[in-house]
Every structure is written in structure tokens, then in C-alpha cells.
Amino acid sequence: MIDYQLLFKSLGIDKYITDEGLTVFTPIDGSQIATVHQTEIEQMPEIINKASIAFNQWRNVPAPKRGELVRLLGNELRVAKNDLGQLVSLEMGKILTEGLGEVQEMIDICDLAVGQSRQLYGLTIASERPGHRMAESWLPLGVTGVITAFNFPVAVWAWNATLALVCGNSLIWKPSEKTPLTAIACKVIFERALTRFEAAPENLLQLVIGDHEIGEKLVESKSVALISTTGSTRMGKIVAPKVAKRFGRCLLELGGNNGMVVTPSADLELAVRAITFSAIGTSGQRCTSLRRLIVHESIADKLLPRLIQAYKSAPVGNPLTDGILVGPLIDHLAVENMQFALLTAKKQGGIIKGGELITENVPGGGFYVSPALVEMPSQSAIVRQETFAPILYVLRYESLEQAIELHNDVPQGLSSCIFTNDVREAETFLSVTGSDCGIANVNIGPSGAEIGGAFGGEKETGGGRESGSDAWKSYMRRQTSTVNYSAQLPLAQGVKFDF
């Protein structure tokens, strides 16, 4: 175990450690590593009001200037990458290379957002009326509330924060109560960037720490223009109606039940490598983790033994140790949910390999399991449900049409992929009759998206889009304007209204 007290001091968060408040545990060995102050419910109106004041000032700063602040944030993240990556691994439990990769993702989105700050483009639209110019522009939206989950405690915040900032919005961030330390560290790093920037108002980024009651105050406030929330479908079904009731805007990134189709023409060695990372990387705790393997019956008996061997060779243990590929689950509830899913799958005809609790050669008090492969006779109810753990259900198919039907027959629609060397199969999977997910890949797994593309999914995944492409538009309001530079007043559609 690393010296976390020294790490806290290096990141500048030691002064935020208190004697009373929210207790923080590391899933590595289940020990308490800190206690931090919680936001009081009574403070929320003042916090939201300060954010509104900050927005009114920040929206008047030119967008390229706003991008300069994000550039400075990226530079500070480069300096803090090693320490922040270690903290991600310590607090969340993912292996160190993944913790460092998550911080690199923050740096990457900073670079993208800086460029985007000079590309908040609109349109010029042809008017049917002579002497008129019609245009469309994008304007700052307002206070942005960001609610993040434990599994990517810093990257998902950065996806939202960097774009929201260059788009002219102020921020209120509520992290998962399981990972408040990484959020505090990001706030400190952001404040370092602010010291080198002259045009930022006070309270541009505010951090609130607490349980769902704190989140509810954000969700219910009419002064919070956008709620961007990452989490379970169950949580989204609670948040979305409340935001809609006040006519606010929601950006939802919810559950995934991601599938891979492996066809007879596939490169099986390539497929095994992709399956292994996608299914057991981050201990199956990514929203894009591979949950369902849909393999052609003619190659299933060739693929599965190779996959079983790959699973056996993947070391499970302390995620801060070199060579470890699978760390712990986040807490005891995650272990219980996994065991319940496996028991249910067995009752529904599943043949299970793996899934046992691990107590040897791992830190005591941690939440370690062996990844599970479960051959299922059909896509039963438990297969259609997302379990946030390293469980991979294996289904067999006869035709590509059947495979696609199986793939799409789940409530979620986040990420998907097909492994094939047949261009017709690949293009069919990517067509309107293929995958119904927001992300569809060929010959790479469903997990590990780059920030250049828009990230998000359909159906019960929520329909939101974050990160690249034109996801920035979620953080702005659209305005259509028409200018009459003639001396006449013609009406649209040829309407006459003379008097």
C-alpha cells in the first residue's frame, strides 16, 4: 500500500481531511483512509445562488479566453498526473495503469475543449424573404450540475466540466460519496489553474459532497439549467422526471449491457484479447464493460477454451502492484450483487466458470472476486439486466440476423461490437438494421472510447452525449435570429397583413 498521507499532502488535499463527516474507505483492503466534510443541505440555496452569479459574469468572457483557463487546467493535470492517478486507484480500486489512463483522458479532453473554444460555430440560413438574413447561434446555457459515479471519478467530470466551461457555464459538482477525495483533488488542481488566470469569477466551480439528498437539491433547482448525471438506469428514472417537471435539461449517461458478436470469419486471437480487457478490465465496473458474448455455434468450442485460459492467466490482487490486471470490486454490496446474479443465472440454466470470492494472495478486507464466464441457454432475465461486476454471459447463435436480434434485445443501448473479417457482416452490424447502440465497433471491444467521438447511448442508457464531436451543444442554448436590412416588411409564407 502506498503512503496515502504523503499522497494527500502532495496533492494538497491534506487540509481537507477532518475528524468528522463522510468516511472514505479504500476497496483495496477495506480500511478507512480519510474523513471529509459533508455539505449541509441548508447550504445548497446559497451555493446555487453563487453559481448563478458566477455564470452571469463568466458568460461575458470571450470563449477563446475561457478556453485559456481550460488549457491551464490541462497543464496542471500534466504535473499532477502521477499523484492523481494513484489516488484514483487507491480510492476506486482500478489498477494503476487505468488510474493514470483516466487522468490522461482528462488531459485529452482539456486539449479538445481548448480547440472547441474557437469553434462554437453557428449557421447562416437562407431566408425566403428578400433583404433578410437568418442565422443560428449558440449561447451559454447557465449553471451546470454534474453528478458523477464512482467508477470514473475524475474523467467523466472532466468530460463535462471542460466543455461546460468553454461554453460559458458555471459548475456545481457532486461526486459519488464513495470517491470524494479525487473530487477534492481536482478542485485543488482547478484552483491552481485559476491562480494563473485573471478573468474568472469567484465560485466558477463549486464542489458539494454528500448523499442523494444533496443531489436532489441540484436536480430540483430551477436555477440549475443542466443536470448531467452518470449512474444507473434506476437513478436516471428518478432524476429525469424531476428535471423535466421544472422544464430543465438533462444529459443522461446510464446503464450499459454491452454485447460482442463473434462470427466464423473472426480473428479469434484478436477477439480473445479484446474480450478479456473489455469484460474484466476495471473488474467489470465500466458502463462499457462487455457483458454478453454472442458467438457463432461453429466456433464457440474453439473460442471458449482460449478465453477460459486467458481468464486464468489474468492476475487478481492489489491494483497498485505491478502486473496485476484485476483489482477489487468497490464494496461488499457489489460482491453481493455479483453473487446474486450468478446464483440467478445458475437457476436459469447457466453453466458457471469462475466468480468465486478470493481471499488468498490479496489484501485482507478487500473485495476480490475471480471473473466469471457463464454459458447460458438463452438470453434470460438476468442476462438482460446489468450487473456491475466481471460477469460475461455467453450465448450461441446460428445466423447473423439472430445474433443482431439477440444483441438488441436488452433494455440498454450503450456500446457494442462485432468481430469479423467479412465486410458484409461488418457493414450490416453498423447499418440501420444492425446494432441499436450509441457506439458500434468492428474488431475492437466495446470498452475504452476515445474522447474525439461523442460518448453515449440509446434506450435506457439515456440518450445523452458527452465528450467529442458536437457534444458541446448540450451545454449551450440555440438561438435562431433574423435581421431585416431592407426597407420592406414581407411576411414569411407569403402572408399578407396590410392595413
d(CA 446, CA 437): 10
Long-range contacts of 330-336 (CB under 8 A, 24+ apart): 330/27, 330/92, 330/93, 330/150, 330/151, 330/178, 330/285, 330/367, 331/25, 331/27, 331/178, 331/367, 332/367, 334/285, 334/367, 334/388, 334/389, 335/367, 335/369, 335/389
- Catalytic one of 287, 375, 386, 466: 287
d(CA 437, CA 478): 26
| Joined grid coordinates for residue 366 | 478487500
| Joined grid coordinates for residue 98 | 487505468
Place of cell 454472442: 294
Tell me the sheet residues that pair with 300: none
| Joined grid coordinates for residue 380 | 434470460
Residue 392, SS3? strand
- CA-based max dimension of the chain: 90
253 catalytic, yes or no?
A: yes
Residue 359, SS3? coil
Q: How many CB atoms lie within 10 A of CB 62?
A: 12
d(CA 154, CA 161): 10
DSSP 131: T
Q: Where are the beta strands (DSSP E) in 106-223?
A: 123-125, 132-140, 143-147, 171-174, 205-207
- Count the alpha carbons within 13 Å of 440 in the hemisphere toward its beta carbon: 21
250 catalytic, yes or no?
A: no
H helix count then E strand count, the chain: 13, 21
φ, ψ at 343 (rounded to 5°): -65, -40
d(CA 367, CA 361): 13
Q: What is the DSSP string of 213-253?
A: HHHHHHHH-TTEEEEEEES-HHHHHHHHHHHHHTT-EEEEE
Strands 439-442 and 458-459 come out as unpaired
- Catalytic one of 76, 98, 177, 253: 253
Catalytic residues: 253, 287
